[in-house]
A and B are shown apart, each in its own frame.
Chain A
Amino acid sequence: AQKVTQAQTEISVVEKEDVTLDCVYETRDTTYYLFWYKQPPSGELVFLIRRNSFDEQNEISGRYSWNFQKSTSSFNFTITASQVVDSAVYFCALSGVPSGGGADGLTFGKGTHLIIQP
């Protein structure tokens, strides 16, 4: 069975601080995909990034960066110089490709509620 753990339920920082959201996953699939989604107060889930299990390169997109480490089964997300607009619930998710083929829906973590205070 797949599992995604986001141990941080809520994080509160002051604007301009850097913040890292942790994500640890479990899967038996050799091929899998990891995702991060943002859910602002409006409620709609917004896709941020997808990473496949064969690509451990870190990625940077503006103030956002992601650190994927297969050795520790982690896919952490860092926001640099946080802004109030970054306040949202952030979800890490996993999608597997079983060796027998087929696929399934996303397995989500419980989410981390990020609060950026002005």
Chain B
Amino acid sequence: GAGVSQSPSNKVTEKGKDVELRCDPISGHTALYWYRQSLGQGLEFLIYFQGNSAPDKSGLPSDRFSAERTGGSVSTLTIQRTQQEDSAVYLCASSLPPLGLNEQFFGPGTRLTVL
């Protein structure tokens, strides 16, 4: 069984550009989570999906961040007009239901560098 996969593994972009990060969860895991890991802030929870639904988007750092999930599987995290403070490792995790109560399996992350 494959684990959580994320792409790209590394992304270097220029300030002001949009980026799209992809997460492919473990098959059968209906819960999907996005986190951000940076030196200054540690590991921050961004958003979760139960199926295709994201009930609470308050963890997203700004309105430049958005996420969607289709078909209860792949999710994309989009950052518009990237800023240097967006530089971080973006981690995706998935788990079996119930949401939040089972161990989350993490992907290898996408390292985003905004120049």
Comparing B11-19, B69-77, B79-87, B101-109, the segment that makes contact with chain A is B101-109
| CB <8 Å contact, B109 and A97 | no
| CB <8 Å contact, A104 and B56 | yes
Kindly provide the distance from the CB of A53 to the nearest chain B CB, expressed in whole angstroms: 11
Q: Which residues between 78 and 115 of chain B lie within 8 Å of chain A, taking CB atoms?
A: 89, 91, 93, 98-109
* Inter-chain contacts of B47 with A (CB < 8 A): 105
Q: Which residues between 17 and 52 of chain B lie within 8 Å of chain A, taking CB atoms?
A: 33, 35, 42-48
Decide if the interface of chain A is mainly helix, strand, loop or mixed. strand
Give Cα distance in the complex from A33 to B109, angstroms: 24
Q: Is A55 an interface residue (CB 8 A)?
A: no
Interface size on B, residues (CB 8 A): 27
Most A Cβ at <10 Å: residue of B42, B46, B102, B105: B42
Known: A44-B108, A95-B101, A103-B98. 7 other contacts (CB 8 A): A47-B104, A47-B106, A96-B100, A103-B99, A106-B100, A107-B45, A111-B43
Chain B residues near A (Cβ < 8 Å) = 33, 35, 42-48, 55-56, 59, 89, 91, 93, 98-109
